[in-house]
């Protein structure tokens, strides 16, 4: 556990393994095999562009998070996005258009960003943007979805555009999932997974880890069930409290240590899936990778933010390029200070140090 964990290297190798498995699994389908081989080459080319930029003194992160809508049909217990008012029930206004998002995707491709995580709200409410993302075959787009809008049209799109990878949110068993997300959600997710397996499509699962479910979601039984359904990646997101009332859901030191020990075990014993822990992997890989160290966030209105859990912005991509946003005064100050370094109690460092982040906006 004392050896430094290289999160970016692990993710890159994990994606390469998934792509390799997909190539072998789709040899009988020349179209699918051609995409997988093309993406592997594009990923290698993007990595070279990032290395060239690094040699010239500019760090380009491999990941971007794009929250493409502020609208969601669910009201999950303790939702950080609703507490931060990033997700609302009113009809969205002044959000980035399909054309604006496609321009961002083009710029990301040119910079060497290989992975753009589509989030929300509920991103599958913006079918226009997801269809636009499908055009950008050099970039892999994990789509963080609650799974309630999965239909035949989306299955056809995911079959046609293999760079779109749904990552469905599940909280453990039926009782735990439905208690947080709503009655019937668990059965819908299981049905979706069965459809994906039937169609030979790749998908992942996202789990919000709380004090209530941390043992269940890391159990052999739960993860074996996901693997049997065809899941290729599990993303464990430690619950970040955004109100005093929700603080009891946030994992403490005991739960975080349990989680990291289990994930280390899973990576060794169940390598058929990729396991990512956020922000746990940051802690073991040398500090927070937000604000452009490993990724940054564009909200639904175009604001460039360090991270979805740190919704502060001093620049908007409506008015500037993606590259200029990456070098905003806020991002530059965060990367040059010790705020992102691993000298905090655990959990999300930017949330814990939000007063310091806010103070940088006043400089």
Which pLDDT value is given to residue 352?
Answer: 76
Residue 32 domain flag: yes
pLDDT digits (tens, 9 = 90+) for 246-304: 788 888 889 988 998 998 899 888 888 888 887 766 655 567 888 898 899 999 999 99
| Residues 263 and 236 sit within 8 Å (Cβ to Cβ) | yes
Which pLDDT value is given to residue 9?
Answer: 66
Residue % of the chain over a pLDDT of 70: 86
In angstroms, what is the C-alpha Rg of the chain?
Answer: 19
- CATH number of the CATH domain containing 50: 3.20.20.70
Which pLDDT value is given to residue 86?
Answer: 85
| Residues 290 and 350 sit within 8 Å (Cβ to Cβ) | yes
Section 84-108 average pLDDT: 92
Section 96-119 average pLDDT: 96
Residue % of the chain over a pLDDT of 90: 55
Residue 224 domain flag: yes
Domain encompassing residue 284: 7-361
State both tokens at 175: 């009782």
CA gap 214, 72 in Å, rounded: 25
Question: Which stretch of 147-156, 183-192, 232-241 has the lowest confidence by average pLDDT?
Answer: 232-241
CA gap 75, 65 in Å, rounded: 21
Residue 71 domain flag: yes
pLDDT digits (tens, 9 = 90+) for 324-353: 999 999 999 998 887 887 554 555 777 778
Residue 1 domain flag: no
pLDDT digits (tens, 9 = 90+) for 205-217: 999 999 999 999 9
pTM: 0.90
pLDDT digits (tens, 9 = 90+) for 307-327: 988 889 999 999 999 999 999
The mean pLDDT of the chain is 86
Which pLDDT value is given to residue 363?
Answer: 60
Domain count, the chain: 1
pLDDT at 2 over 50: no
Residue 318 domain flag: yes
Section 16-30 average pLDDT: 57
Residue 2 domain flag: no
Residue 324 domain flag: yes
pLDDT at 7 over 60: no
User: Which element (helix H / strand E) includes 39?
Assistant: helix 30-55
160 contacts: CB under 8 Å, gap ≥ 6: 134
């Amino acid at each position: 556990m004392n050896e430094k964990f290289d999160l970016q290297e692990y993710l890159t190798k994990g994606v390469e393994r998934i792509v390799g498995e997909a190539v072998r699994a789709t040899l009988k389908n020349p179209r699918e095999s051609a995409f997988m081989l093309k993406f592997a080459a594009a990923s290698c080319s993007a990595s070279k562009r990032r290395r060239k930029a690094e040699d010239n003194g500019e760090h380009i992160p491999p990941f971007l998070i794009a929250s493409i809508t502020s609208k969601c049909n669910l009201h999950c217990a303790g939702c950080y996005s609703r507490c931060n008012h990033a997700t609302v029930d009113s009809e969205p206004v002044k959000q980035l258009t399909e054309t604006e998002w496609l321009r961002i995707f083009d710029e990301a491709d040119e910079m060497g960003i290989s992975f753009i995580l589509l989030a929300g709200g509920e991103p599958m409410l913006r079918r226009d943007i997801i269809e636009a993302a499908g055009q950008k075959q050099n970039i892999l787009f994990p789509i963080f979805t609650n799974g309630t809008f999965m239909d035949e049209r989306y299955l056809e799109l995911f079959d046609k555009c293999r760079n779109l990878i749904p990552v469905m949110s599940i909280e453990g068993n039926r009782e735990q999932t439905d208690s947080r997300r709503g009655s019937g959600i668990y059965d819908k997710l299981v049905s979706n997974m069965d459809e994906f397996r039937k169609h030979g499509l790749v998908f992942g699962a996202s789990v919000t880890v709380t004090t209530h479910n941390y043992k269940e979601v890391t159990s052999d039984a739960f993860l074996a069930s996901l693997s049997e359904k065809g899941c290729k990646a599990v993303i464990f997101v430690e619950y970040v409290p955004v109100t005093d009332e929700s603080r009891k859901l946030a994992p403490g030191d005991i739960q975080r240590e349990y989680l990291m020990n289990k994930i280390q075990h899973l990576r060794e014993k169940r390598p058929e899936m990729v396991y990512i822990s956020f922000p746990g992997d940051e802690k073991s890989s040398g500090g927070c990778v937000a604000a452009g160290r490993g990724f940054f966030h564009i909200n639904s209105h175009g604001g460039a933010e360090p991270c979805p859990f740190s919704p502060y912005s001093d620049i908007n991509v409506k008015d500037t390029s993606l590259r200029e946003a990456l070098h905003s005064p806020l991002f530059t100050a965060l990367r040059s200070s010790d705020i992102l370094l691993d000298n905090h109690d655990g959990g999300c460092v930017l949330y814990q140090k939000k007063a310091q982040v806010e103070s940088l906006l006043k400089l």
